[in-house]
Amino acid sequence: MLLPDSIHPQNSVYYTGAVLLDTLQQSGAMSITDLFVIIKQKNNMSFKPFLLSLDWLYLIKAAIVNEKGEVVLCS
């Protein structure tokens, strides 16, 4: 859900996307699995919302997966 009205904001794509962006800004490019491990430790996020947020970041051209399979921020 993009903007929830009946659930906690931590479960929204905007919030989880911001967590992903913050982690990528701090750590730089990394594999999807490494990024998930870090996010799981920080926020106890399950894989489904993680992938949904990653897809959303791709759609708004904030992050991509490069040829090496690493998630990187777009400039």
Domain 9-73 has CATH 1.10.287: no
Rounded to two decimals, the pTM is 0.83
DSSP 61: T
Q: Is 39 exposed, middle or buried (0-12, 13-18, 19+ CB in 10 A)?
A: buried
| Span 1-39, pLDDT tens digits | 555 566 677 778 888 899 999 999 999 999 999 999 999
Q: Which residue ranges make up each domain of the chain?
A: 9-73
pLDDT confidence of residue 72: 94
pLDDT confidence of residue 4: 58
How far apart CA 57 and CA 54 sit, in angstroms, is 5
| Span 37-53, pLDDT tens digits | 999 998 888 899 899 99
